Every structure is written in C-alpha cells, then in structure tokens.
Amino acid sequence: MTTPQGPVQLFAVIALVSLPTVMYGGYALLGLLRERQLTEAQRGHFRAGHAHAGVLLVLALAALQFLGSGGLGDTARWVACFLLLFGILAQSGGFFLNLIPGKGRIGHSVTTGGAILLAGAILMTAYGVAIA
C-alpha cells in the first residue's frame, strides 16, 4: 500500500535526478554539435529543447508540492504525475525531433501533445488544491 505522498515523492526524485542530467546533457551535446554544421533553425530547436526540459522539470517540482498537499486520491496523483513526466518528455523531445531534417511536422505534433499532457496535469493539480 502506498501513502498519499508515494507517487509525489517518487516523481520528485525523478525530477531532481533529471535536472543535472539535462544540464550535463546540454553541455556535452553542445560540445559535440559545435563540430557539426547546424542551421540556425536547428540550433534554435536544440536550445529550445534543453530550455524547455530544464524549466519544465522545475515547474514539475513546484506542481508536485501542490499535488502532494492537494485533495486528490492516490490514483489521481499517479495519473497527474505520469501526465507531468510524459508531458515534459514530449514537450522538450519534440524540439529535438525538429533537429532531424524532414521531421518538423512530427516534432511539432509531439511538442503539441506534450503541452496538452502538461495542461492536463496542471489542471488536475489545480483541482486537487481547490478541493483540499
């Protein structure tokens, strides 16, 4: 049996561990990408992907605090946590798909899907805070 904090604590750990990996990944990949010729659009998508990943992970940490103290049940907290996680992955990942020539339409769709998942997670969190 999990406590009401179970999914919130797990996803907080995932977000906290992910932040340094996003920071290091951006640093390491920029070094690798300097050797390749990238278009300005590709550079912009690369920067946007890393910026969104970092900022959205920090947003997730704040949302998880509200989610943990809100009035949602355990199942709803699990759903909100998964929406946050997959929303962040899709939102930032879509920008990286745009780095691949000819994949812009797919990247845009993935980014849009991530935004929808994140909106669902934030609205669930807001509802949980409202009923607490």
Task: Note the pLDDT of residue 32.
Answer: 67
pLDDT in tens, 3-37: 546 899 999 999 999 999 998 877 777 776 777 77
- Residues in Cβ contact with 17 at an 8 Å cutoff, skipping those fewer than 6 apart: none
Count Cβ atoms within 10 A of the Cβ of residue 91 and give its class: 0-12 exposed, 13-18 middle, 19 or more buried.
buried
- Nearest Cα neighbor of 49 from 96, 100, 110, 114 is 96
Within a domain: 27: yes
* pLDDT class of 1 with cuts at 50, 70, 90: very low
Task: Note the pLDDT of residue 2.
Answer: 45
Within a domain: 11: yes
Within a domain: 1: no
pLDDT in tens, 47-79: 899 899 999 999 999 999 999 999 999 999 999
User: In the chain, what are the helix, strand and coil shares in percent, each to the nearest 5?
Assistant: 85, 0, 15
Full-model pTM: 0.87
For residue 111, the domain's CATH number is: 1.20.120
Task: Note the pLDDT of residue 5.
Answer: 66
Q: Half-sphere exposure (CA, 13 Å, Cβ side) for 96? A: 17
**What domain range is 34 assigned to?**
6-131
Domain count, the chain: 1
